Amino acid sequence: MPAGQPALAAALPRFKIALPVAALAAMFGIIFWIRPAIFSYFGIGLLLDLAMPAVFASMAQMCVIAINDIDLGIGPFISLTSCIAATLLVRAPAAGLLALAAAIGAYALMGGLIHVRRLPSIVVTLGASFIWLGCALLLLPSPGGGAPSLIAGFVNLSPPLVPLPILVLAGAAFLGHLLLMRTARGAVLRGIGGNAKAVEQAGWSLARGRMLLYGIAGACGVIAGLLLDGINTSGDATVGAQYTLTSIAAVIVGGGEFVGGDVSPVGTVTGTLIMLLTGSVLSFVNISTSWQLSVEGGILIVVLGLRALARTA
Partner 1 sequence: MGQRFANAPRWIWSYLAAAVVYLAIVVIAAGAGSFQTFSIALQFATFFVIAGLGQMLVITAGPGNIDLSIPGVMTLAGYLATGAMHGSNAGLLSGLALGLLIGLGAGLFNLALIRLLRIPPMVGTLASGFIYQSAAIAYSSHAVTQPSPLLAAFTSGRVLGVSAMTVLFILLTAACAVGLQRTRAGRAVLALGQNRRAASLAGFRVGGALSLVYLASGLLAAIAGILLAAYSGGASLDMAREYLLMSIAVVVIGGTSIAGGDPAPPGLWGSAMLLGLLVTMLNLLHMPEGVRLIATGGVIIGVLAVATPQGP
Partner 2 sequence: MRALQGVDLDIDAGRMLGIVGHNGAGKSTLMQIIAGTLPPSSGAIAVAGAPIPAYGVRAAHALGIRCVFQELSLCPNLAVFENVGIMHRSLRGAGWRGRARHLIRASLDAIFPGHGIDPDRQVSSLSIGERQMVEIARAFSETEEKVRLVILDEATASLAGHAATQLLDFTRAARARGIACVFISHRLAEILAYADDIVVLRDGGIVGTAPASGLDEDRLVAMMGEVRAPAGRDAGGARSAGVPRVEAAAQDGESLPLRVHAGEIVGLAGLAGHGQRAFLHRVFAAARHRERGLAVNGSIAHVSGDRASEGIFPLWSVMRNISAGALGRLSRFGLIDPTAERALAEAWARSLAIRTPTVSHLATRLSGGNQQKVLVARALASGADILLLDDPTRGVDVGTKRELYARMRAHAAGGHAILWYTTENAELAECDRVYVFSRGRITDAIDRDAYSEDRVIRASFASAPPGGGFARAG
Q: How many CA atoms lie within 13 A of 8 on its CB side?
A: 3
Conformation bin of residue 312: beta by default, left when phi > 0, alpha when psi is -120 to 50: alpha
* Binder of partner 1 out of 137, 152, 181, 281 (CB under 8 A): 137
Which CB sits closer to partner 2, 201 or 290? 201
Between the two ends of the chain, the Cα-to-Cα distance in Å is: 15
Q: Does residue 175 sit in helix, strand or coil?
A: helix
Q: Distances from the Cα of 147 to the Cαs of 14, 90, 238, in angstroms?
A: 42, 6, 17
State how far the Cα of 97 lies from the Cα of 80, in Å rounded to an integer.
Answer: 13
State how far the Cα of 56 lies from the Cα of 168, in Å rounded to an integer.
Answer: 10
Using the contact rule CB under 8 A, the part of the chain among 156-164, 172-180, 201-209, 291-299 near partner 1 is: 291-299
Which CB sits closer to partner 2, 154 or 204? 204
State how far the Cα of 22 lies from the Cα of 180, in Å rounded to an integer.
Answer: 23
Using the contact rule CB under 8 A, the part of the chain among 22-30, 87-95, 125-133, 270-278 near partner 1 is: 125-133
Binding mask 138-177 for partner 1 (x = CB under 8 A): x--x------------------------------------
State how far the Cα of 63 lies from the Cα of 67, in Å rounded to an integer.
Answer: 7
State how far the Cα of 181 lies from the Cα of 117, in Å rounded to an integer.
Answer: 29
According to the binding rule CB under 8 A, does residue 223 interact with partner 1? no
Which CB sits closer to partner 1, 252 or 269? 252
Per the document, the length of the chain is 313
Could you give the angle at the alpha carbon of 285 between the alpha carbons of 284 and 286, nearest 5°?
A: 90
Closest distance of CB 184 from partner 2, Å: 4
According to the binding rule CB under 8 A, does residue 248 interact with partner 1? yes
According to the binding rule CB under 8 A, does residue 3 interact with partner 2? yes
Contact status, residue 299 vs residue 278, Cβ threshold 8 Å:
yes
According to the binding rule CB under 8 A, does residue 311 interact with partner 2? no
Residue (of 200, 207, 181, 211) closest to 107 by Cα position: 211
According to the binding rule CB under 8 A, does residue 313 interact with partner 2? no
Phi, psi of 235 (to 5 degrees): -110, 155
Which CB sits closer to partner 1, 134 or 153? 134
State how far the Cα of 120 lies from the Cα of 64, in Å rounded to an integer.
Answer: 13
Residues in 239-268 at the binding interface with partner 2, rule: CB under 8 A: 257, 260-262
Using the contact rule CB under 8 A, the part of the chain among 71-79, 179-187, 220-228, 272-280 near partner 2 is: 179-187
Residues in contact with partner 1, counted by CB under 8 A, come to a total of: 41
According to the binding rule CB under 8 A, does residue 250 interact with partner 1? no
Using the contact rule CB under 8 A, the part of the chain among 7-15, 85-93, 154-162, 278-286 near partner 2 is: 7-15
According to the binding rule CB under 8 A, does residue 102 interact with partner 1? no
State how far the Cα of 303 lies from the Cα of 298, in Å rounded to an integer.
Answer: 9
State how far the Cα of 247 lies from the Cα of 244, in Å rounded to an integer.
Answer: 5
Give the interface with partner 2 as residue ranges (CB under 8 A). 1, 3-4, 6, 9-10, 12-13, 182-185, 187-188, 190-191, 193-195, 197-199, 201-204, 257, 260-262
Binding site for partner 1 (CB under 8 A): 70, 72, 113, 117-120, 122-124, 126-131, 133-138, 141, 245, 248, 252, 258, 288, 290-291, 293-294, 296-298, 300-301, 304-305, 308-309
